[in-house]
Amino acid sequence: MKLIYRSAGTIFILLSISLTVNGQLIPERQWPGFRGYMASGVLDNANIPESFDFQKMVNIRWKIPIPGLGLSSPVIWGDKIFITTALSSSDKDGIKTGIYGDGMPVADSSVHDWKVICIDKNSGKPIWERIAFTGIPKIRRHPKSTHANASMATDGKYAVAFFGSEGLYCYDYNGNLIWKKNFGVLKSVAFDYPAAEWEFASSPIIYNGVLIIQCDVLENSFLAAFDLKTGKELWKTNRDEYPGWCTPNIYKDGEKVRIAVNGYKHRGGYDFETGKEIWRMSGGGDVPIPTPVMGKDLIFFNSAHGPSSPIFAIKTSAAGDITLKPTGVPNEYVKWSIPRGGSYIHTLLLYRDHLYNVNWNGTVVCYDSATGKELYHAKLGTSQSFIASPVASDGKLYIVDEQGTIYIIRDGVSFNQLAEVPMKDICLTAPSITDSMIFFRTQKYLIAVGNK
């Protein structure tokens, strides 16, 4: 099979679906962290089956139970999948679905095991499992949360798990613990009511042998970089920020590598080498969760909590304080903005020329990514509760509601739903894609969809 693949201005002509160059796996073809490469949520030329059925097990490669509770999305490199979970014989409430106003934490103070699991992606068989930490959680969880929310990060040699107050752990591919760090209690709580403990959820990211973590918590928020091989701290930058659950991302301004972070008091960009602030912007949803996404020399942000729910398209050349004035008129670094329309939880999906926003009531809004012009607004199914961020492959978007129904829609300027596929299990986790397969993590299972 000949496949033409373009990345960063370079065209690779690949002669087989192995997708390697000089015997090395192409990072852009892996799913190395939350929502894949650069959190894009996209893997084209994946050849996922056109149809599948979970009840009749049509095009279901395997389905394995995952003990405990976890919302970490599967991360994939080569033939290995990495996920996390937290186990307790007493924490039996599960995940509470639906939309409700009570955000008080689950009343559980039992001993938990925080576990890292490595799985063979082709067979579903565990390769190794490691208990990273055992103890009573230092922060309780929201009813819609778990004690293992953050997705892992991998570069094909190391795999990193971040359990918030229970620590940061780096393993090699054989499951050997290489290094670990403890940051004390990271107070992932509601900024205006600290008794509402919701647990940590920002995933680590890896770029060029450096691990980046974003810790926006009630006290002493920070962004930090560590040498992946040794765990040595390279820099740590304090942030004046409310608690948030955003995962950072990487972008480039010309040849300069930057880190983008979402936030309420301090959305912005930082220098990858030094941690120095490059630009900042305040405002938006005051409990930020979505990850920034990149493309077309723009960084796309959204958030929604409290009175504001903006979407911003920020130029990668941004510098200084670019906070919009009350009039909302874009400045030289804000290409376009929408004052209301962002999502509380979902990360945006930039696919081809379209920017998709999914909200927790199941509405999908498609924008022209260059201008912010709305192309369509549609509602998926009858469910009023969607949490998992969307992903895309080969012209199709995959969106899952909390009850585990997968909605498949066609990329385009008008709404075109292709299928509605029930899994019959709670799902709050973004799917993950690899060559010829897509993975869904539900409350109880990890399921591989692919041609048998």
At 113, the amino acid letter reads D
pLDDT(242) > 90: yes
Band the pLDDT of 9: cuts 50, 70, 90: very low
Band the pLDDT of 8: cuts 50, 70, 90: very low
In sequence order, what E strands does 203-331 have? 205-207, 210-215, 221-227, 233-239, 249-253, 256-261, 267-271, 277-281, 293-295, 298-302, 311-315, 320-321
214 φ/ψ angles, rounded to the nearest 5 degrees: -115, 120
CA 406 to chain centroid, in Å, comes to 18
Encoded tokens for 348: 């945006």
* Residue 44: domain span: 31-450
- To the nearest whole number, what is the mean pLDDT of the chain? 93
- What CATH number corresponds to the domain at position 342? 2.130.10.10
3-state secondary structure of 69: strand
- Residue 121 falls inside a structural domain: yes
Predicted pLDDT of residue 23? 64
CA-wise closest residue to 80 among 136, 11, 32: 32
Predicted pLDDT of residue 19? 56
Q: How far is Cα 323 from Cα 287, in angstroms, rounded to an integer?
A: 18
DSSP codes joined into one string, 356-383: EEE-TTSEEEEEETTT--EEEEEE-SS-
pLDDT(3) > 50: no
Q: How far is Cα 42 from Cα 27, in angstroms, rounded to an integer?
A: 13
Predicted pLDDT of residue 366? 98
- Residue 17 falls inside a structural domain: no
- Residue 20 falls inside a structural domain: no
Q: How far is Cα 228 from Cα 210, in angstroms, rounded to an integer?
A: 5
Band the pLDDT of 329: cuts 50, 70, 90: confident
Per residue in 161-184, pLDDT (tens digit) is 999 999 999 999 999 999 999 999
Q: How far is Cα 262 from Cα 291, in angstroms, rounded to an integer?
A: 6
- Residue 59 falls inside a structural domain: yes
- Residue 26 falls inside a structural domain: no
**pTM (2 decimals)?**
0.94
Band the pLDDT of 24: cuts 50, 70, 90: confident
Could you report how far apart the first and last alpha carbons of the chain are, in Å? 19
CA-wise closest residue to 116 among 157, 56, 75: 75
- Residue 1 falls inside a structural domain: no
Per residue in 256-291, pLDDT (tens digit) is 999 999 999 999 999 999 999 999 999 999 999 999
- Residue 10 falls inside a structural domain: no
Domain count, the chain: 1
Residue where the block lists tokens 């106003």: 101
Query: What is the bridge-based pairing of β-strands 277-281 and 320-321?
Result: parallel
- Residue 74 falls inside a structural domain: yes
CA-wise closest residue to 309 among 281, 341, 349: 341
